[in-house]
Structure 1
Amino acid sequence: MTSRFLPTLLDEASRPFRNGGHFAYHYARGKLSSDCIFRELLKRGVFPAEARFLDLGCGQGSLFGWLLAARRLHDNGHWPNDWAPPPKPLELRGYELMHKDVERAARAFGRDHPVVSIRQGDMCQVDFGQTDVVTILDALHYIDFAHQKDVIKRIRAALPAGGLFLTRVGDAGGGLRYHICNWVDHAVTFTRGHRLPKLYCRKVAEWCELLRSVGFQVETMPMSAGKPFANIMLICRVPS
């Protein structure tokens, strides 16, 4: 069933982005189909059964489209038996630095969506409020080391006992695979119309040390799906 299900999920998740224009639709479809993390997050049941989500550096909201589509398909009886049930999103808040991405999100989801709210903002400055799950996918390395620590401390403060912070980083100790990650990162950043950034990367052990120092329990998981990358998913939980 899974081989037939994934194209259906992709169609459902990318459909809203047609309203955002040609680029928004094809970028969402390409990202959701080629990046293994979206599939694995659902398949492995990483998220709680229901939750308020905060995605920092959320782009045009591809993750939100994926989560909403998954829940609709599940509730309509279309879900693989060997996958964990998808989460029920109570709230999907996102902050994105780039105005163009925020505008694409507004056209995709509408400006008065009952669950989705994506605003322009810098993760180093915005108020995180209180939430159950925080995600930062492939964006922490764009901010300098001091701000990385401050953002992580504020994420910890925004989460309750049992809360989840999930991020993916490149392992700076990954040799050639790490450098390939950075080359691809620069190419994608340029394609999206952003300036080529300076990157602030760490070895996986250094990421784990930082996260544990502010009170997270950390699990690491390779997240490259056979591609020559040094991507690691960090599953960080607040102790219950």
Structure 2
Amino acid sequence: MIKNVTETVITIFFKVLFLIHGRPEENGKLAKVTSLYKSGGFSELFTSIRLWDAPYEEIAALVPSKGVIADLGCGDGLMVNLLALEEPTRQLIGVEINKDRLKLAKKGLANTKFIYGSADRVKIPKADGILMIHLLHHLTSRDQQIEILKSSYQALKPGGKLIIAEIGKKPFLKYLFTWFTDVVIVPILFEKRLYNKEIFYRTQQEWQTLLKKIGFKVSSKPVSPGKPFSHIILACQK
């Protein structure tokens, strides 16, 4: 009941927003992946919202053009399918613990494979690239964050890339909106609970320090201008 109400409120809000400001334009790559999610329901709208807000194109530009790429906590598989369509020479692996979202992710692309399981427990094959898009702050502790980052470092081939999308704490209003979404909206939509107060954010500098300590070369940047959430991208190389 609460989930249905939440979906209805989000649908009305974004339909009005897109009516006033125009629906976001999608280029060739984004249009192709969007076409895989045409359902006419909330999942189709949610796909459009995610592609509009999240820095998918910025992330895609950092991903190796070939080889094995693993997306940990892949959700509905948007990034996996986008990268698979973009470069057939990539072999994409998506890992997701939510069975409903995993079902949505499977679009039948030949160079994709989806695995049910927790991102911190699934054995990652030797990879050319690993993605963590809004995964780390949803883990159960800061120690768990460290462990999955260490295991990812070990799973990467020499010169391999770890690309992380996380939440920056600036600007404050965007951070506050993001916090509310993670604490209330995400649990209702995807976790079958009313809220989740255990969210483990770090500052951009804290992420950089941690990743360098593990052994990565790191560059980072905020990517939230004109969008409601305070995204940051960390590009890490082994």
CA contact (8 A) 2:75 2:102 kept: yes
1:13 matched to which residue of 2? 33
Count of aligned positions: 211
2:201 matched to which residue of 1? 201
CA contact (8 A) 1:49 1:88 kept: no
1:142 matched to which residue of 2? 138
Distance 2:26 2:173 in 1: 31
Distance 1:16 1:34 in 2: 18
Deviation at 1:40, TM superposition (A): 2.1
1:95 matched to which residue of 2? 95
Deviation at 1:227, TM superposition (A): 2.9
CA contact (8 A) 1:99 1:120 kept: yes
Distance 1:134 1:212 in 2: 16
Structure 2 gaps, min length 5: 1-24
User: Aligned ranges for residues 32-47 of structure 1 at < 5 Å?
Assistant: 32-35=51-54, 37-42=55-60, 45-47=61-63
1:184 matched to which residue of 2? 181
CA contact (8 A) 1:10 1:33 kept: no
Deviation at 1:134, TM superposition (A): 0.5
Distance 2:112 2:144 in 1: 27
User: Aligned ranges for residues 14-93 of structure 1 at < 5 Å?
Assistant: 14-18=34-38, 22-35=41-54, 37-42=55-60, 45-69=61-85, 71=86, 87-93=87-93
Letter matched to residue 47 of structure 1: V
Letter matched to residue 214 of structure 2: V
Match of 1:18, SS state, is: coil
Match of 1:163, SS state, is: strand
Letter matched to residue 163 of structure 2: L
Structure 1 gaps, min length 5: 72-86
Letter matched to residue 215 of structure 1: G
**C-alpha offsets along residues 1-58 of structure 1, whole Å, 9 cap, x if unaligned?**
xxxx834433311112237x733333223311332x112234xx31223131100110
- Using structure 1 for the length normalisation, give the TM-score: 0.78
User: Aligned ranges for residues 152-191 of structure 1 at < 5 Å?
Assistant: 152-172=149-169, 175-190=172-187
Q: Cα 1:140–1:89, aligned 2, differ >3 Å: closer, same or farther?
A: farther
Distance 2:175 2:94 in 1: 28
Same amino acid, percent of matched pairs? 24
**C-alpha offsets along residues 147-178 of structure 1, whole Å, 9 cap, x if unaligned?**
10000000000001110001111234654432
Q: Cα 1:137–1:131, aligned 2, differ >3 Å: closer, same or farther?
A: same
2:115 matched to which residue of 1? 119
Distance 2:182 2:214 in 1: 28
CA contact (8 A) 2:168 2:175 kept: yes
Distance 2:145 2:89 in 1: 27
CA contact (8 A) 1:94 1:118 kept: yes
Distance 1:187 1:121 in 2: 23
Distance 1:229 1:105 in 2: 23
Runs of 4+ in 1 over 6 A off after TM superposition: none
CA contact (8 A) 2:84 2:91 kept: no
